[in-house]
Amino acid sequence: MSIESTKSKGTLFTKHVSVLFLVLLWTLPTLGLLVSSVRDKDQLSLSGWWSSLTASEQQNVQRLPKADTQAADGAGFIIETNLFGEGTKNQIRSWGFRATEIEQYKPGETAEVDNGETITVYENGRVEWRSDSEFTHSRSPRVFFNANIPPRFTFDNYREVLTSEGVGRAFINTLTVTLPATFIPILIAAFAAYALAWMEFKGRMFFLAMIIGLIVVPLQMSLIPVLQIFSQIGQIVGIPSKSYLTVWLAHTGFGLPLAIYLLRNYMASLPKDIIESAYMDGATHFQIFVKMILPLSLPALASFAIFQFLWVWNDLLVAAVFLGQGEGKTVMTQQLIELLGSRGDNWEILTSGAFISIAVPIIVFLSMQRYFVRGLLAGSVKGG
Amino acid sequence: MFEQISGALLAITLAIGGSVLFYVGLNVLIDKAFASDGLPAIKQMKRDKQREALRPWIFIGPALLFLFVFLVYPVLKSIQLSFFGREGDEFVGFANYIWAIHSDGFQSSIINNLLWLLIVPTLATAFGLIIAYLTDRIWWGQIARTLIFLPMAISFVGASIIWKFVYDFRAAGTEQIGILNAIVVAFGGEPQSWISLPFWNNIFLMIILIWIQTGFAMVILGAAIRGVPEDTIEASTMDGANEFQIFFKIVMPQIWPTIVVVWTTITILVLKVFDIVYAMTNGQWNTQVLANLMYNEMFRNANSGTASTVAVILMIAVLPVMIYNIKSAKDSAQ
């Protein structure tokens, strides 16, 4: 490109650096969440996620076991334990018997204690406490130690959040809300869009104008009146006023204006000849719609499907008002709000829970970005 | 677990199957009811005509029903409710609106909403424009754009958790695990509890929405920038214009209408911002906004009158955009 070559190297460099800086600014928050969600929960609460790859240093104290754990060892007796528990890669840096003397012994050194007993602490945390006579103590000494804790990554947070924190259940609930609430409005909107684009009837332009106007109506206007309708119908028919059915209907109603608008614009841009000639040949509008228009409109249908899917999956307000909470009902966004309230400091729960809820839309988004962008362009450049 | 999954799948199948059956069924039904085979030619034409006059309403009827029940009727009903009391049965005139003017919660909501309206659309559009322009001609621009676009897929609640972690605060002297405080401490500052910091906490909440919406602005404006004729840029380069002059004097004026559209779209979204405030502070520490105030009036105070009043005020705020959209759609149709 001619412009590129005339530009000075310095400008180009600045450009790359500033884009890199902006990209980092935009991705670091999410990266922090992702990294934190797989960190060991003790490390997560002690150090920042950016230091997760370096070993952390930790001071700790542990009381040695009681006399009843002793075993005979040749002529003498021995009590064995591990300061870290079994199977860790932690390393002892130094140890001692008082908090102020934590640097007194190196790993592998042996300390002489009263009446010929010796205590040795090895680098891997193993403790050998030997005595010539049988142990009789009821209160054992405490060992203070400095340890190197290597970074530990684990899926335990995910296991916990999926099972005991109700996120697994909420995931399924969200799916139950999202799939019908995505499909039904597309179907209804596709028929309506076809009618507005290609059929002759009274009030066509009026309805189109009304639908464009309704796109921007704040959801808040609808909450109370629709809730009243649902509870009145619920009382008459004897069904609960907050259920999956009501939340599907609500999402359908709120999603329709944009859906009809996007699909109508797309369908109206299809070539007039093929539709008219099919009509002349005796095909009904229903046949034309199903056999010709629907297949041709797939890109537009896909665009809106992604919109609606993301919107419903990520929605909090509509689910909170029209589905409510409870066993087998609470959706993921609401579960996360609850966790924010009850487990606000347990970042291992919050980060892994949040990541589970954002993983699905991110996958959908990345795999269908092309359609999403097309929908955005059609929806907003034209003034929606 | 298994029961829940199978129940969900059954519900999905029923919902989808039901709606398909509805359309196919009704269309077959009117084909049968107005069948014209074997009738005299004149009658045949009449029946065909009747049938085809009815069919549009089958196509658009369900949509109109939904729009009426979920949007048109509620708008009228909310306006009515805003003049009624707590239970919606006692006419109170403008009392709810007078309450709104004098209520502290409402006043600070309005001020905060105005701040949101001033800052978020402007910054999101500006960042979007800058990023779209910068990434337009570099080889890894597509990757950069995807990464900046990604937050659009994240829910407001998810984004709130992401940023709450960024803003996390530990007492001074202990190790900070929120990156913002870690940076502040690294430069020798005092760690702050950002989301309860008077006034500035509003800005920290706004950053979340800017972070989400910049990708939107970038994509739309990027498409507009690519639509700027190459020769106008080349000509000004020949005349010795520098990068800044090209951007501000050549590119900007040509994409100005798109900038306005992006700015308006984000403005409408900002008016309705609810989830972020609800998740981060629930209006505490002077961060209340209208949408969250409405939710509180509705569910905490169980006052349908005041809640509807707040909703109507939101509606009035989007009215100019609504009228403009209808007008411009009508213009382009003619």
The 10s digit of each residue's pLDDT in B179-202 is 899 999 989 888 888 988 888 999
B153 and A380 within 8 Å at the Cβ level: the answer is no
| Distance in Å, alpha carbon of A27 to nearest chain B alpha carbon | 7
Q: Provide, as residue numbers in chain A, all residues whose Cβ is less than 8 Å from the Cβ of B147.
A: 23, 26-27
Which residue's structure tokens are 């589905």?
A323
Are A377 and B223 within 8 A, CB to CB? yes
For residue A360, pLDDT over 80 is answered with yes
At residue A3, the pLDDT reads: 47
Question: Which residue of B28, B137, B154, B180 to mutate against A (max A Cβ within 10 Å)?
Answer: B154
Closest approach of A233 to chain B, Cα-based (Å): 13
Q: Is the pLDDT of residue B38 over 80?
A: no
**How much is the pLDDT for B305?**
92
End-to-end CA distance of chain B: 56
Chain-chain contact of A26 with B211 (C-beta, under 8 angstroms) = yes
pLDDT at A5: 47
Cα(A34)–Cα(A354) distance, integer angstroms: 9
Q: A214 to chain B: which residues are within 8 Å by CB? A: 67, 71-72
CB spacing of B182 vs A50 below 8 angstroms: yes
Locate the domains of chain B by residue range.
Answer: 2-81, 103-333
Q: What is the 3-state secondary structure of chain B?
A: CHHHHHHHHHHHHHHHHHHHHHHHHHHHHHHHHCCCCCCCHHHHHHHHHHHHHHHHHHHHHHHHHHHHHHHHHHHHHHHHHCCECCCCCCECCCHHHHHHHHCHHHHHHHHHHHHHHHHHHHHHHHHHHHHHHHHCCCCCHHHHHHHHHHHHHCCHHHHHHHHHHHCCCCCCCCCCCCHHHHHHHHCCCCCCCHHHCCCHHHHHHHHHHHHHHHHHHHHHHHHHHHCCCHHHHHHHHHCCCCHHHHHHHHHHHHHHHHHHHHHHHHHHHHHCCCHHHHHHCCCCCCCCCHHHHHHHHHHHCCCHHHHHHHHHHHHHHHHHHHHHHHHHHHHHHC
Contacts of A349 in chain B (CB under 8 A): none
**Shortest CA gap B115–chain A (Å):** 19
Task: Say which of B7, B11, B72 has its CB closest to residue A180.
Answer: B11
Contact A320, A273 (CB under 8 A): no
Which residues from B are below 8 Å from A377, CB to CB? 219-220, 223
Model confidence at A84, in pLDDT bands (50, 70, 90)? confident
Confidence band, pLDDT 50/70/90 cuts, at residue A325: confident
Strand ranges across the sheet with A71-73? A71-73, A76-82, A126-131, A118-121, A110-112
A4 and B137 within 8 Å at the Cβ level: the answer is: yes
Q: From B135, which residue of chain A is nearest by alpha-carbon distance?
A: A19
Query: Residue A280: what are its φ and ψ, rounded to 5°?
Result: -60, -35
Inter-chain touch B144–A1, beta carbons under 8 Å: no
pLDDT of residue A381: 41
Phi and psi of A164, rounded to 5°?
A: -85, -15
pLDDT of residue B243: 79
pLDDT above 90 for A70: no
Q: Please indicate whether residue A10 or residue B70 has the higher confidence score (pLDDT).
A: B70
* Sequence spans of domains, chain A: 56-149, 159-381
Per CB-CB distance under 8 Å, the chain B contacts of A8 are: none
Between residues B245 and B73, the one the model is more confident about: B73
Chain A residue with minimal CA distance to B59? A191
- Asked whether the beta carbons of residue B77 and residue A175 sit closer than 8 angstroms, the reply is no
Percent of chain A's residues with pLDDT above 70: 96
Q: State chain B's mean pLDDT as an integer.
A: 88
Q: What is the pLDDT of residue A82?
A: 86
Q: How many CB pairs under 8 A join A and B?
A: 343
Mutate: best of A217, A306, A348, partner B, most B CBs <10 A: A217
CATH 3.90.650.10 fits B103-333, yes or no: no
Residue B18's pLDDT band, with cuts at 50, 70 and 90, is confident
Does the structure show a pLDDT above 50 at A384? no
For residue A183, give the chain B residue with the closest CA.
B16
Chain A positions touching B314 (Cβ under 8 A) are 218, 220-221
Q: How close does chain B come to A54, measured CA to CA in Å?
A: 15
CB A99 within 8 A of CB A170: no
Hunting for tokens 């960190």 — which residue is that? Answer: A39
* Whether the Cβ atoms of residue A92 and residue A57 lie closer than 8 Å to each other: no
Q: Mean pLDDT, to the nearest integer, of B79-90?
A: 90
| Alpha-carbon gap, residue B231 to B226, rounded angstroms | 12
Question: Which chain A residue has its CA at the smallest distance from B156's CA?
Answer: A314
Q: Indicate the pLDDT class of residue B311, thresholds 50, 70 and 90.
A: very high
CA distances from A158 to A35, A145, A331, B313 (A): 12, 31, 17, 43
**What is the structure's pLDDT at B334?**
64
Phi then psi for residue A165, to 5 deg, are -100, 5
Please name the residue of chain A whose CA is at the shortest distance from the CA of residue B158: A354
Nearest 5 degrees, angle CA A225-CA A228-CA A232? 145
Residue A78 bridge partners (DSSP): A71, A130
| CATH of the structural domain A159-381, one choice from 3.40.120.10, 3.40.309.10, 1.10.3720.10, 1.10.10.10 | 1.10.3720.10
**Averaged pLDDT for residues B243-250:** 85
Length of chain A: 384
pLDDT for residue B7 is more than 70: no
In this complex, the residue of A216, A362, A380 whose CB is nearest that of residue B321 is A216
Quickly state the pLDDT bin for A104 (edges 50, 70, 90). confident
**ipTM confidence score:** 0.89
In this complex, do A27 and B262 lie within 8 Å of one another by their Cβ atoms? no
Is residue A283 pLDDT above 70, yes or no? yes
Q: Which residue of B has its CA nearest to A279?
A: B52
Tell me the average pLDDT across A37-45: 83
In this structure, chain B runs to a length of 334
Asked if pLDDT for residue A233 goes beyond 70, the answer is yes
Banded pLDDT at B72 (limits 50, 70, 90) = very high
Of A213, A253, A365, the CB nearest to B326: A213
* Tens of pLDDT, residues A157-209: 888 888 877 888 889 889 888 988 998 899 899 999 999 998 888 889 999 99
**B260 neighbourhood in chain A, CB within 8 Å:** none
Q: Identify the pLDDT of residue A382.
A: 37
State yes or no: pLDDT of A1 exceeds 60.
no
Interface contact flag, A337 B279, Cβ < 8 Å? yes
Burial class of B28 by CB neighbour count within 10 A (0 to 12, 13 to 18, 19+): exposed
Mean of all residue pLDDT scores within chain A = 85
pLDDT value at A328 more than 80: no
Q: Which of B55, B71, B325 sits opposite A383 (nearest CB)?
A: B325
Distance from CA of A211 to the nearest CA of B (A): 8
How confident is residue A46, by pLDDT bands cut at 50, 70 and 90? confident
Q: Which of A19, A216, A383 sits opposite B329 (nearest CB)?
A: A383
Share of chain B above pLDDT 90, in %: 40
